[in-house]
Amino acid sequence: MKTIFTMFLIITTTLSFSQITISGKVTSVNGKPIPGVNIFIENTYDGASSNDEGFFKFSTSETGVKNLKASFIGYKMYQKEVELSKNIEVQIQLKESVNTLDAVTITAGSFEAADESRASIMKPLDIYTTPSANGDIMAAMRTMPGTQSAADDGRLLVRGGDWYETKTYIDGLVASKPYYSKTPDVATRGRFAPSLFNGVMFSSGGYSAEYGQALSSVLVLNSNDLAETDVTGISLMTIGGEANKTKRWVNSSLSLSGGYTTLKGYDKVFNSSIDWQKPVEAIKGTAVFRHKTKSNGMFKAYATTDYRDLAYNVPTGQNNLLMLISNRGITGYSNLSYRDCFSEKSCYKIGMSTTSQNNRTGLGEDDIKTHEIIIETRLSVVYDVSEAVKINWGAIETFNRYNEDFIENKGETYSMDFNDHLIGAFIESEIRFSKNLAIRPGIRSEHSSVINKTNLAPRFALALKTGKNSQLSGASGIYYQTPQADYLKLNTNLDFEKAVHYILSYQFGEVSTRLFRAEAYYKTYNNLITWQYGEFTLPKNLQNDGSGYAGGIDIFWRDQKSIKGFDYWVTYSYIDTKRKYKNYPEQATPYFISDHTFSFVGKYWLNKINTQVGMSYTAASGRPYNNPNSTKFNSERTKMFSDLSLNFSHIFYIGNQYSVLYCSVNNVLGHDNVLSYRPSGVADTQGNYSLIPVKRDLKRMMFVGLFLSF
Amino acid sequence: MKKIIALTILFAAFTSTVFSSNYEEVMKTNIDKMLSLTSSTELIALANQFERIANTEKTEWLPGYYSAYCFVRSTFFDEMKNDEKHQQLDKAQKIIDQLVKSNKKESEVFALQALVYQLRITDMSKGYKYSKLATEAIGVAKKLNPENPRVYYLRGSNTFHTPKMFGGGAEKAKPDLEKASKMFETYKAENELLPSWGSLHNNQLLSKCK
């Protein structure tokens, strides 16, 4: 009994009195001291923090072999076994972790609007506050370099590519009809409301293997998670009205909205250059549901449907004859997705998007009825192999059913259709050699059943940090796209169209202060579809016979710091491009290309009156058009285009929610730009073709909106 | 033999009580120290001390909580530069992430999370994202414990610092700050180790509302 008591005493005394001192210095690999590092004996309270010179010292009453650890954010955990029998001195070298927050990110070709990503150069809010955008994501992206201003089109035309070469994705799933139906001479706009998204990534080239079926560009929209609070909104606008209601539960939220748009008032008040018979009228309904599961997974469902109707006359160029163009259609889009994690290292996303469109377009006496269904299913997995290596792989299946009835002169009907199953898979890896160097090799393969062809598209990107706030990025890759429905309905004996991108980019600064980016690119196009006019003006002799190139420089500068309250960005793009495609007789610069494009967007917040004023200015050099009276194709140029738009937003309150009074004026200076010329199809008696000028619908457009929430 | 076993059990019980009272004592000492410190370096060192306690006392949430809070508190002193502020907040965030994972029901953890988000707003461009995130965290904190005065203080502070343009301002913030002020006066924590911060800054903000 006594001995046990003695033992007990000995143990307790050693516990409290034998002290061993541990001291040393903490440095980084290059010998610089690191202050604030936590050095400690594992599973004890004993330890210390390193001081400004990296030195530390502490004592412990522990004995035996223990683990000495040192931890600091941004560095790998240091660990060493020590024998605690006498005082110890250690030199600790911490290795930098490659995943630090200020590590290099691959930015070549991409323009992001996100809140915190280092690659981002815009904020989601910028889409609303850009005067020339009028709340359209696509129009806001057209203030980014590398895009064409083409005010008579309204779609994204990127680095020499035609509109269909840009694909839109929502939460990783394709949105096949991102624009309202485009009809001749009238610009269209994007279908999706910017308020649905908290991140927008616009890539003007060199994008990752995750995205396919786009020759020139992708627009990636990431939708919001749960809605924050219950809110009711009513919008009254000079173009119509909208109402929405959002309900938030603990782990779910539901938003419903409906709206009506009409341009009838504009047609009466303003002098439109378009001879409207039935100005645009549209109704739209949207539902958004979100649910967070117990395992922190996120289920998202989004459905929207719209009906739109319009009709107008266009001159045909023959004896003052007019042709009636009409368009009426119902479009539905739904997007279901679920994301969750298998483990801490591996997360997955599954989803399905469905687009269906019933469209009736009248061209004079003829009618074209189309019915399209596009269903995409997708699975993707991100796996962190180690701290430095991340693998992203996935598979997609896209079903496309196209059906068209061409009703000639209210009589004979010609039907054309096709079905396509596109199966694709990609794998891509992001490898960080250090926090200053990252590469992203990837490969994508697709098989299209309608043309019965398979492609293999390797991609590669790299980024090198050259200073605290500067980096160099490069990207290259091969891009394939299945021919458009307009061709496949006539001929399925075709191959993928192909493009190769090479991009080099330099970036300096930070988006919250000042940011500069310059990018040079070169692209080649091959296997573009060519054709000639045949019967009923339908294309014939469809072949993958076209080719072309595009090269240029894009410059971006944004400054939010120099003048307090003032935020502006300036972009300049130069492009040299020629291509042989469609019915071009030879390689020529397409009609939508301006060699030089300059744009400026500036915003100023007036604190005293709760109002933001904004201005955007775009200038673009003349675009080519084809004068059939000339011997050379697409050899003439329009005059320079310019536009000055202004807006203001005034904020006020109803209860706890804020409401906005918004007003914008486009083309304030009233420049009556001829955007392009459309040649008439038939020559007059002297054998000359007349040219029909295409102008913007409204010379000066004013928009007023009152957006109330409560 | 029986006696030895009995004694070992007794000894084990004794040491564990020593340790647990040691835990409370150490915590109390360090919390008092924290409230008296006005230097970032010392607060960071103390944060490390709390982290060491947290590494040992794996079932307790308070050591981790105070470690995160000391990192947060270190940004209040010595005119810390924005880059370093974010570094300290990164450290706090890492700990909070772990706390949320292992302890989903503690209102105070979400209140601290909201504070971290608010402090992230070091320039205008960060406001939109982080005030949104803070609002969400405050919502969770409120749901878990509507009696937590920090919920109303943080909500008021969020509104106070949000530009009028986005529905903020002193006028809007006043009701929440007033409510928090009253609650701070009457609020009694279950034990003295539980968080008590916020009332000083709350009153400062409230005085600016007049």
Flag whether A103 is in a domain. no
Phi, psi (degrees; rounded to nearest 5) at A579: -155, 150
CATH number of A454's domain: 2.40.170.20
Contact check, Cβ <8 Å, B129/A115: yes
Which chain A positions have a beta carbon within 8 Å of B44's beta carbon? 36, 49
Flag whether A100 is in a domain. no
Residue of A nearest to B4 (CA): A4
Which residue, of B100, B132, B158, is where some domain finishes? B100
Domain co-membership, B92 together with B34: yes
Domain co-membership, A297 together with A349: yes
Residue of A nearest to B92 (CA): A73
Size of interface A-B (CB pairs under 8 A): 91
Flag whether A246 is in a domain. yes
Domain co-membership, B93 together with B119: no
Q: What is the mean pLDDT of residues A421-446?
A: 94
Please answer whether residues A373 and A356 qualify as being in contact, where contact means their C-beta atoms are separated by less than 8 angstroms: yes
* DSSP 8-state secondary structure symbol assigned to residue B111: H
Domain co-membership, A377 together with A491: yes
Contact check, Cβ <8 Å, A116/B126: yes
Residue of A nearest to B89 (CA): A73
Facing B164 at nearest CB: one of A124, A229, A610: A610
Tokens read off for A652: 């006020």
Predicted confidence at residue B58, as pLDDT, reads 86
The number of helix segments (H) and strand segments (E) in chain A equals: 5, 39
Taking the Cβ of residue A651 and every Cβ of chain B, the question of whether any pair is shorter than 8 Å is answered with yes
Domain co-membership, A23 together with A118: no
Contact check, Cβ <8 Å, B49/A653: no
Which chain A positions have a beta carbon within 8 Å of B87's beta carbon? 73-74
Per-residue pLDDT of chain B (210 residues; tens, 9 = 90+): 555 555 555 444 444 434 456 888 899 999 999 999 999 999 999 999 999 999 888 889 999 999 999 999 999 988 888 888 988 999 999 999 989 888 778 999 999 999 999 999 887 667 777 888 898 899 889 999 999 999 999 999 988 888 776 677 888 889 999 999 999 988 877 888 999 899 889 999 998 887
Which chain B positions have a beta carbon within 8 Å of A43's beta carbon? 55-56
CB neighbour class for A29 (10 Å; exposed up to 12, middle 13-18, buried from 19): exposed
Domain co-membership, A298 together with A158: yes
Question: What is the Cα–Cα distance from B140 to A251, expressed in whole angstroms?
Answer: 11
Please answer whether residues B140 and B110 qualify as being in contact, where contact means their C-beta atoms are separated by less than 8 angstroms: yes
Facing B123 at nearest CB: one of A45, A49, A512: A512
Taking the Cβ of residue B90 and every Cβ of chain A, the question of whether any pair is shorter than 8 Å is answered with yes
Q: Give the rounded percent of residues in chain A with a pLDDT score beyond 90.
A: 57
Taking the Cβ of residue A147 and every Cβ of chain B, the question of whether any pair is shorter than 8 Å is answered with no
Contact check, Cβ <8 Å, A607/B44: no
Which chain A positions have a beta carbon within 8 Å of B129's beta carbon? 115-116
Predicted confidence at residue A104, as pLDDT, reads 73
Contact check, Cβ <8 Å, B125/A123: yes
Domain co-membership, A19 together with A144: no
Flag whether A50 is in a domain. yes
Please answer whether residues A353 and A324 qualify as being in contact, where contact means their C-beta atoms are separated by less than 8 angstroms: no
Taking the Cβ of residue A250 and every Cβ of chain B, the question of whether any pair is shorter than 8 Å is answered with yes
Contact check, Cβ <8 Å, A47/B53: no
CATH number of B146's domain: 1.25.40.10
Higher pLDDT, A488 or B191: A488
DSSP A678-691: EE-SS--TTSPPPE
Quote the ipTM score. Answer: 0.80
Please answer whether residues A65 and A426 qualify as being in contact, where contact means their C-beta atoms are separated by less than 8 angstroms: no
Taking the Cβ of residue A67 and every Cβ of chain B, the question of whether any pair is shorter than 8 Å is answered with no
Average pLDDT, chain A: 89
Domain co-membership, B162 together with B77: no
Predicted confidence at residue B13, as pLDDT, reads 42
Domain co-membership, B73 together with B171: no
H/E run at residue A540: strand A539-559
pLDDT tens digits, one per residue of A269-303: 887 888 899 999 999 999 999 999 988 899 999 99
CATH number of A9's domain: 2.60.40.1120
Is pLDDT at A600 greater than 90 in this prediction?
Answer: yes
Domain co-membership, A42 together with A126: no
Predicted confidence at residue B5, as pLDDT, reads 55
Predicted confidence at residue A9, as pLDDT, reads 47
Domain co-membership, A90 together with A119: no
Residue of A nearest to B15 (CA): A12
Which chain B positions have a beta carbon within 8 Å of A4's beta carbon? 3-4, 7
Please answer whether residues A432 and A98 qualify as being in contact, where contact means their C-beta atoms are separated by less than 8 angstroms: yes
Q: At what angle do helices B170-186 and B199-208 cross, to 10 degrees?
A: 140
Q: Name which of A62-66, A276-280, A572-576 the model is least confident about.
A: A62-66
Domain co-membership, A258 together with A392: yes
Contact check, Cβ <8 Å, B132/A228: yes
CB neighbour class for B130 (10 Å; exposed up to 12, middle 13-18, buried from 19): buried
Taking the Cβ of residue B5 and every Cβ of chain A, the question of whether any pair is shorter than 8 Å is answered with no
Taking the Cβ of residue A36 and every Cβ of chain B, the question of whether any pair is shorter than 8 Å is answered with yes
Q: How many domains does chain B have?
A: 2
* DSSP 8-state secondary structure symbol assigned to residue A95: P
Question: What is the Cα–Cα distance from A428 to A443, expressed in whole angstroms?
Answer: 6
Which residue, of B100, B128, B156, is where some domain finishes? B100
Facing B51 at nearest CB: one of A38, A44, A74: A38
Domain span at residue A356 reads 110-709
Domain co-membership, A40 together with A179: no
Domain co-membership, B112 together with B205: yes
Higher pLDDT, A119 or A190: A190
Taking the Cβ of residue A48 and every Cβ of chain B, the question of whether any pair is shorter than 8 Å is answered with yes
Which residue, of B53, B71, B100, is where some domain finishes? B100
H/E run at residue A266: helix A264-269
Predicted confidence at residue A147, as pLDDT, reads 94
Domain co-membership, B6 together with B77: yes
Contact check, Cβ <8 Å, B48/A48: yes
Is pLDDT at A231 greater than 80 in this prediction?
Answer: yes
Domain co-membership, A69 together with A114: no
Higher pLDDT, A683 or A507: A507
Contact check, Cβ <8 Å, A124/B165: no
Question: Where residue A610 falls among pLDDT bands split at 50, 70, 90?
Answer: confident
Domain co-membership, A568 together with A700: yes
Tokens read off for A292: 């967070």
Q: How many domains does chain A have?
A: 2
Domain co-membership, B88 together with B11: yes
Taking the Cβ of residue A654 and every Cβ of chain B, the question of whether any pair is shorter than 8 Å is answered with no
Contact check, Cβ <8 Å, A35/B136: no
Q: At what angle do helices B124-144 and B149-161 cross, to 10 degrees?
A: 160
Count of beta carbons in the 10 Å neighbourhood of residue B88: 25
Question: Where residue A468 falls among pLDDT bands split at 50, 70, 90?
Answer: confident
Contact check, Cβ <8 Å, A52/B41: yes
Flag whether A104 is in a domain. no
Taking the Cβ of residue A55 and every Cβ of chain B, the question of whether any pair is shorter than 8 Å is answered with no
Residue A138, CA atoms < 13 Å, CB-side half-sphere: 27
Please give, rounded to a whole number of angstroms, the shortest distance from the CA of B108 to a CA of chain A.
18
Please answer whether residues A381 and A393 qualify as being in contact, where contact means their C-beta atoms are separated by less than 8 angstroms: yes
Tokens read off for B205: 């903000």
Predicted confidence at residue A1, as pLDDT, reads 53
Is pLDDT at A333 greater than 90 in this prediction?
Answer: yes
Question: What is the Cα–Cα distance from A405 to B72, expressed in whole angstroms?
Answer: 67
Domain span at residue B42 reads 1-100
Question: What is the Cα–Cα distance from A202 to A283, expressed in whole angstroms?
Answer: 28
B139 to A105, A189, B97, B118, B180: CA distances (angstroms): 33, 37, 17, 14, 15
State the pairing for strand pair A217-223/A166-170. Answer: parallel
* Test mutation, B37, B165, B176, chain A, max A CBs within 10 A: B165
What's the order of all strands across the beta sheet hosting A64-71? Answer: A47-49, A38-41, A64-71, A78-84
Please give, rounded to a whole number of angstroms, the shortest distance from the CA of A108 to a CA of chain B.
23
Is pLDDT at A707 greater than 90 in this prediction?
Answer: no
Domain co-membership, A235 together with A200: yes
Of residues A424, A338, A340, the one with CA closest to residue A382: A340
